[in-house]
């Protein structure tokens, strides 16, 4: 079953696409209102992806007790 076929996968895909589109429109409005270049709104999904990857990396390092700060080990969860 493909992403664009009928079923729950299709529903999840289109709901996700709608959420991304709504957030992009919101950022376009904000950039327009505050006189920022409109192309900056296109970086929003990329910035969210990078922040999610950083959070996952931090979680994995903390659970594995490999997180450090200024050369000192941090206590794990």
User: CB within 8 A of 71, min separation 6: which ones?
Assistant: none
The residues with which 73 forms a beta bridge, in sequence order, are: 68
Q: Can you give the residue ranges of every domain in the chain?
A: 8-73
Which pLDDT value is given to residue 67? 79
User: Could you report the per-residue pLDDT of 21-72, keeping only the tens digit for each?
Assistant: 998 899 999 999 999 999 988 888 888 889 999 999 988 888 877 778 888 8
Dihedral (Cα; 15, 17, 23, 28), 10-degree rounding = -150
Give the separation between CA 68 and CA 29, rounded to whole angstroms. 40
d(CA 74, CA 29): 42
3-state secondary structure of 70: coil
- Whether the model pTM is above 0.85: no
């Amino acid at each position: 079953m493909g992403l664009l076929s009928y079923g729950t996968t299709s529903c999840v895909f289109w709901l996700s696409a709608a959420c991304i589109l709504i957030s992009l429109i919101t950022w376009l409005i904000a950039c327009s209102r505050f006189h920022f270049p409109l192309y900056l709104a296109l970086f929003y999904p990329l910035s969210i992806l990078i922040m999610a990857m950083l959070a996952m990396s931090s979680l994995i390092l903390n659970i594995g007790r490999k997180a450090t700060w200024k050369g000192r080990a941090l206590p794990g969860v």
